[in-house]
């Protein structure tokens, strides 16, 4: 099996606090992996390590065959373009409308003409289910679900190899939650040909079991289990059972 992310003996300490405690796991390429855990388990810190935004105290992270420890700050910035990320509240640039938000990475990193950018943005809007009426709307004029769609469109603009989702359904109503989960699943399936890997950080157990191929469970900085969804569903681990039976 090919792996997109390989974490070996990862430790992160902030002063005397150990946030990540000897983590070992591998994220399979082209699959959806969800990292579950209680608040304060170290999920967001792990995500920042995968992105190279934080350096580990010890251990290593290899992403798409590149040891992040060995990359310089400038190389890391370049490397991050292989990632797309959907933030908890979409993190859209509030001074830009829908079109400009999605076009932003294309304008920053490609030499595409305005016409090419326009057709690419419309293609992305179609793929995430945004209609043309929202093109000129500012983020403040969009609903939570629409913002997620725009955020996903922006994240997919540069055709990333790894998509990261930071608690994508937190604070959304059940219908929008389902829509976002379907969107994540569909996005991964529609990019199956180029082996798009998705990593989701979530609390949402039901959605996790529905859309994920693999589930990792973190507790107090330690990896309790890394299993297939089916194995996870039937695990007898008491901590996970407590989480599942909530």
Partner 1 sequence: MRESLLIHIQDYITKFGTPITEIILGLGSFSYFAAQVFIWATRPPYRFRLLFEQLYFIGNKSVFIVILTSAFSGMVMCYQTFLGFSTINGDSLVGPVVALSLAKELAPVFTGLIVTGRCGAAMAAQIGSMKVTEQIDALEVMGINSYQYLAVPRVIASVLALPQLCCLFFITGNIGAYMIGVHVLNIDSFQYFSKLSDFMELTDIFEGLIKASFFGLMIGLIGSYQGFVVQGGAEGVGKGTNLAVVWGMITILVMDFFLTSVLVKLL
Contact residues: partner 1, CB under 8 A = 51, 53, 76-81, 83, 85, 87-89, 91-94, 104-105, 108-109
Q: Provide the minimum distance between the beta carbon of 45 and partner 1 in the complex, in angstroms, as a whole number.
A: 13
Q: Provide the minimum distance between the beta carbon of 12 and partner 1 in the complex, in angstroms, as a whole number.
A: 18
Task: Tally the C-alpha atoms within 13 A of residue 158's C-alpha that lie toward its C-beta.
Answer: 22
Separation between Cα atoms, residue 10 and residue 168, nearest integer Å: 25
Nearer to partner 1, 108 or 126 (CB): 108
Q: Provide the minimum distance between the beta carbon of 169 and partner 1 in the complex, in angstroms, as a whole number.
A: 16
Nearer to partner 1, 100 or 225 (CB): 100
Nearer to partner 1, 76 or 209 (CB): 76
Rg (CA), the chain: 18
Question: 183: alpha, beta or left, given left = phi > 0 and alpha = psi -120 to 50?
Answer: alpha
Nearer to partner 1, 52 or 219 (CB): 52
Token pair, residue 125, equals 């809007």
Q: Provide the minimum distance between the beta carbon of 236 and partner 1 in the complex, in angstroms, as a whole number.
A: 37
Q: Can you spell out the DSSP letters for 179-222?
A: HHHHHHHHHHHHTGGGT-EEEEEES-HHHHHHH-SEEEEEETTE
Nearer to partner 1, 112 or 227 (CB): 112
The three-state secondary structure class of 67 is strand
Q: Provide the minimum distance between the beta carbon of 242 and partner 1 in the complex, in angstroms, as a whole number.
A: 30
Q: Provide the minimum distance between the beta carbon of 171 and partner 1 in the complex, in angstroms, as a whole number.
A: 13
Nearer to partner 1, 11 or 158 (CB): 158
Separation between Cα atoms, residue 196 and residue 198, nearest integer Å: 7
Phi, psi of 207 (to 5 degrees): -65, -40
Q: Position of tokens 């695990």?
A: 235
Q: Which helix (H) or strand (E) holds 10?
A: strand 3-14
- Which residues, in sequence order, are CB contacts of 149 under 8 Å at separation 6+? 128, 129, 130, 183
Q: Provide the minimum distance between the beta carbon of 99 and partner 1 in the complex, in angstroms, as a whole number.
A: 16
Nearer to partner 1, 14 or 93 (CB): 93
């Amino acid at each position: 099996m090919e792996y997109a992310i390989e974490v070996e003996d990862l430790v992160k300490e902030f002063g005397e606090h150990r946030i990540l405690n000897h983590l070992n796991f591998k994220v399979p390429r082209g699959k959806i992996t969800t990292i579950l855990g209680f608040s304060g388990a170290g999920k967001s810190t792990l995500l920042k390590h995968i992105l190279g935004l934080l350096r580990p105290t010890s251990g290593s992270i290899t992403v798409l065959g590149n040891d992040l420890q060995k990359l310089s700050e400038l190389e890391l910035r370049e490397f991050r373009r292989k990632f797309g990320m959907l933030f908890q509240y979409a993190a859209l640039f509030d001074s830009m409308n829908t079109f400009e938000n999605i076009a932003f990475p294309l304008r920053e990193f490609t030499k595409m003409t305005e016409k090419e950018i326009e057709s690419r943005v419309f293609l992305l809007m179609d793929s995430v289910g945004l209609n043309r009426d929202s093109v000129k709307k500012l983020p403040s004029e969009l609903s939570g679900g629409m913002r997620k769609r725009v955020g996903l469109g922006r994240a997919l603009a540069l055709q990333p190899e790894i998509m990261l989702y930071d608690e994508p359904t937190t604070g959304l109503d059940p219908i929008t939650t389902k829509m976002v989960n379907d969107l994540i699943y569909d996005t991964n399936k529609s990019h199956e040909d180029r082996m798009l890997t998705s990593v989701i950080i979530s609390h949402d157990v039901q959605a996790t079991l529905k859309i994920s191929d693999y589930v990792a469970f973190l507790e107090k900085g330690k990896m309790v289990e890394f299993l297939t969804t089916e194995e996870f569903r039937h695990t007898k681990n008491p901590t996970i059972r407590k989480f599942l039976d909530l």
